[in-house]
Structure 1
Amino acid sequence: MQDASQGLPDAPDTVAEAMTRIDSLIETAPKRLRQSAVFTRRHLHLIAVSTVSEMARLAEVAPSAYMRFCQALGFSGYSEMQAVFRAQFTTFRPDYDTRLAALRTDFADDADSLLSDFAESGHKSLLSLNNSVASGQMARAAKMLAGANFIHVIGLRRAFAVAANMVYLLNKLDLAALQHTGIGSLDTPLNIRPDDVIFAITFAPFSQETVSLSQAGAANGARLIGLTDSESCPLSEFAELMLIARENEVGGFRALNAAITLSTALAVAAAAARQRD
């Protein structure tokens, strides 16, 4: 059988170029390479943060088969492919037309299958939480929120829904909290004081507005908890505590299962901690 990598040029220099080759493999490669290509195309964000063994397990192929897939793309191995994705991880996301095109190819406009895949993706996201949140981090974050004079929740763009849910719960649980939305450019770090805690949420590619306001609030003396999906999040430079919630994706689309579950659990834990104290 002709090797799938025969005739390919040197290793791709960009994520976009790698995606083009992945799409080609989906159309032409043997079964295991195609299986690896289909999984990788739907879960591009995992490459930057996963090992080859993890990618192979999730794709349901042997690590050796996944390595052959990397080589079929033109890379010497998984490490070289991962380096390309890590270099662009914080800035690259396929546009929505590209994501929809991938969905039409994979699901043939079958809404029932699409729902099943999103449900399965959400289940995997929730299962990964225990691995991404280190032991003791939730208790420490809950204690910080419980001891705050006021909680400032900052989450814009895709993180907006997580922030809104968090503030709703905190207020219902008698913990004073405010959501910073950026409406009318009224958010100001002058409102954030040393006895306050900031709960900032941003996912790759990161919201500069969220980072800037959080940094200014931290400079005023407030303590900062960050929620993100990547260790490379710029909040980590001045946050006291970082929580990681990674989302599986379907055709480039990510729901907020892990992030909303984590923030909901944290709000309840903070209320319980305040009640104990």
Structure 2
Amino acid sequence: MSRSNQLVAQLLTQSPNDVAIHSTHELARRCKLHASSLVRFAQSLGFTGFKDLQRLFRERLTKPAPGFETRARQLQTEISETGTDARKLLAELVSQDAAALDRLLGDVTDRQLDQAVELLARAETIYLLGQLRSAPIVELMRYMLTMVRRRVILLDPAGGLSTHMARLIGPGDVLVAVSFRYYATEVVNVTEEAIGRGVPVIAITDSDLSPLTRNASVLFTVPEQEAAFKRSLAAPICLAQAIVLALAAHLSGSGDKVPPIPIVTQSF
């Protein structure tokens, strides 16, 4: 892209809500461009003008995310279509997961992995943050990072202390934030505050329009079905494992001693 198009694209992906509510001239002012640059950008994508493109962002803002009841009804619809045979349900899930993993392999770049590994290797302490259905991902990362002797802290929401614990994160640390639509409010708030204090953030989320994408040092997007009840964690968990394994390989190659996972024996 040209420099002007890069600036417009950055605005669209990092501030989608602002794009929905502000005028073309105000958005152009933020990009330090003429309004015609925004119009040409939209036309290059096949829109008649910038307002035509802007309409998509307004629809996204006014359309509420489907809640649990909506997804539960979706599950009932899916069951009525596929039946109640457990084997068929398993086969469908495996098929969806295989497609998601294959897509993940094509989407993640060497540069993203290298940047994430470099941040994790340099960090004095690795902080992990994920709630709701993202919690299993950061729990696994805590286990694996502990096994390769990294100093790691899980920002556990128990007791309401995660926000206060997050204020201990310094610029020499790194925050790994994981959240998918319907983004946990505390995860978004903690991530934005950390970025504001200069903390490097590795974000794992589902879309370039996720609130976690704004100014993240490294961004991994793992798309998923928006309204489906059975949204799998296979792809993001695989990605989390790959990041930690790549870190272990990096530390081993750099001469840092990575102790093997201890074997626990018990006599009876």
TM-score norm. by structure 2 comes to 0.67
Match of 1:145 in 2: 120
Deviations 1:86-106 (A, max 9, x none): 556772356243133113211
- Distance of aligned partners of 1:150 and 1:90 in 2 relative to their CA distance in 1, 3 Å threshold: farther
Q: Provide the residue aligned with 1:266 in structure 2.
A: 243
Distance across 1 between alignment mates of 2:83 and 2:168: 50
Match of 2:81 among 90, 106, 118: 106
Residue number in structure 2 paired with 1:123: 98
1:251–1:269 distance in 2 versus 1, CA, 3 Å: same
Moved more, 153-162 or 240-249: 240-249
Q: Distance in 2 between matches of 1:237 and 1:249?
A: 21
Q: 1:91 matched to which residue of 2?
A: 65
Please say if residues 229 and 244 of structure 1, whose CA atoms lie closer than 8 Å, have aligned partners that are also in contact. Answer: yes
Contact 1:89 1:205 in 2 (8 A): no
Quote the residue 1:54 is aligned against. none
Partner residue in 1 for 2:134? 159
Evaluate the alpha carbon distance shift between residue 212 and residue 251 of structure 1 in structure 2; reply closer, same or farther with a 3 A threshold.
Answer: closer
SS at 2:167's partner residue? helix
What's the Cα RMSD here?
Answer: 2.4
Call closer, same or farther: CA 1:174–1:93 in 2, change over 3 Å: same
| Separation in structure 1 between the aligned mates of residue 169 and residue 228 of structure 2, nearest angstrom | 39
Consecutive unaligned residues of structure 1, counting only runs of 5 or more, are 1-78
For the residues of structure 1 that align with 2:167 and 2:112, how far apart are their CA atoms? 28
User: Structure 2: which amino acid aligns with 1:255?
Assistant: S
Structure 1 residues 185 and 111: CA distance shift in structure 2, 3 A: same
Counterpart of 1:205?
182
Shift of 1:214: 1.5
Q: Using the TM superposition, give the Cα deviation of residue 265 of structure 1 relative to its aligned residue in structure 2, in angstroms.
A: 0.4
Q: Verify the 8 A CA contact 1:246 1:258 in the aligned structure 2.
A: no
* Amino acid corresponding to residue 214 of structure 2 in structure 1: E
* Whole-Å separation in 2 of the counterparts to 1:168 and 1:223: 21
Structure 2 portions without partners, runs of 5+: 1-52, 255-268
> Superposed, which structure 2 residues align to 1:18-97 within 5 Å?
86-87=60-61, 91-93=65-67, 95=69, 96-97=71-72
Report how far residue 112 of structure 1 moved: 0.8
Alpha-carbon distance in 1 for matches of 2:144, 2:250: 15
The amino acid across from 2:149 in the alignment is D
Alpha-carbon distance in structure 2 between the residues aligned to 1:88 and 1:118: 31
CA distance in 1, matches of 2:241, 2:129: 15
* Counterpart in the other structure of 1:235: 212
Identity value in percent: 25
- The reply on whether 1:256 has 2:230 as its aligned counterpart is no
- SS of equivalent residue, structure 1 residue 152: strand
Please tell me whether the aligned partners of residues 66 and 227 of structure 2 are also in contact (alpha carbons under 8 angstroms).
Answer: no
Distance 1:86 1:258, change over 3 A: farther
Instruction: Report the count of equivalent residues.
Output: 197
Task: Kindly indicate whether the alpha-carbon contact (under 8 Å) linking 2:176 and 2:202 is maintained by their aligned counterparts in 1.
Answer: yes
| Distance of 2:59 and 2:98 partners within structure 1 | 25
| 1:192 and 2:153 matched | no
Q: What letter matches 1:117 in structure 2?
A: E
**Aligned equivalents of 2:203, 2:152: Cα separation in 1:** 16
TM-score computed with the length of structure 1 as normaliser: 0.65
